[in-house]
Amino acid sequence: MRRIPYVSVVLALFGAFVIAGWVATPAQAQQTKKLKASAIQVFAVECDEVKLPPAFEMALYENLIDQVRKTGKFERIYRDGERGAADEANLVTLHSKVLGFKEGSERLRQVTTVAGATSIKVHVRIADRSGQSLVDRDVTGKVVFFGENLRATHNLAKSVAKIVRQNFQKEGG
């Protein structure tokens, strides 16, 4: 039986990898192309369908602003109703709609460790000036083991900030 030389197998594999990489690179480059915007306006949390306690609603809104600011991707961050936002040329808007909410119990978590989790599910939409969606995602914030119930809003806002980091790059950066 004739043996296939070891070197030729290695060379064939190497060639296959090179070709695969060459084919995949343009697609990946398109995927990693990030959006740019100089300002973002964070709108109040919509909770028409699912009742969210006012403390959670305001905590989520404030945490979203706080976490988006921490990303450092935008020069200016506007709140809901802020007048200066209308004059921004390159503005994106962040909308969040509550899809589900389950208020757990801090006492139950501390006593049992496994029960009493709090969770909030929100649909996050980042749109441009014309209203066209740039990012559409469902995000969940949870407190499973330690922390107050309101910490779920902080965790959710951190996840939204992660999405912002993945999809946006600083203007001029």
Partner 1 sequence: MTKPLQRILLVAGCLLACPTASVVAQEPVATSNVVHVLGLEGVKKKTKGHLFVSSGEVRFEAGTAKAEVAVASIQDIFTNADNKRLIGGKLGTLAMFAPYESDRFLSLFRRGIDVLTLKYRDAKGALHGVIFILPKGQAPLVKKQMVAQGAHASIPVEEEGQKPDTKQERKP
Helices and strands: H and E segment counts in the chain: 4, 7
Phi, psi (deg, nearest 5) at residue 2? -85, 130
Return the residues of window 101-140 that contact partner 1 according to CB under 8 A: 101-103, 106-107, 110-112, 119-121, 140
Place of tokens 């740019």: 36
Q: Nearest approach, Cβ of 122 to partner 1 (angstroms)?
A: 9
Distance CA 83, CA 108 (A): 44
Residue 70, both tokens: 């921490």
Q: Binding partner 1 by CB under 8 A: which of 63, 93, 96, 155?
A: 63
Distance CA 74, CA 39 (A): 5
Binding flag, residue 150, partner 1 (CB under 8 A): yes
> Bridge partners of 140?
121
Contact stretch for partner 1 (CB under 8 A) within 4-12, 32-40, 61-69, 163-171: 61-69
Stretch (H or E) spanning 81: none
Angle at 70 between CA 64 and CA 75, to 5 degrees: 100
Return the residues of window 67-106 that contact partner 1 according to CB under 8 A: 78-84, 99-103, 106
Q: Nearest approach, Cβ of 155 to partner 1 (angstroms)?
A: 13
Contact stretch for partner 1 (CB under 8 A) within 8-16, 19-27, 62-70, 128-136: 62-70
Q: Which is nearer to partner 1, 61 or 74 (CB)?
A: 61
Contact residues: partner 1, CB under 8 A: 44, 49-51, 53-55, 57-59, 61-63, 66, 78-84, 99-103, 106-107, 110-112, 119-121, 140, 150
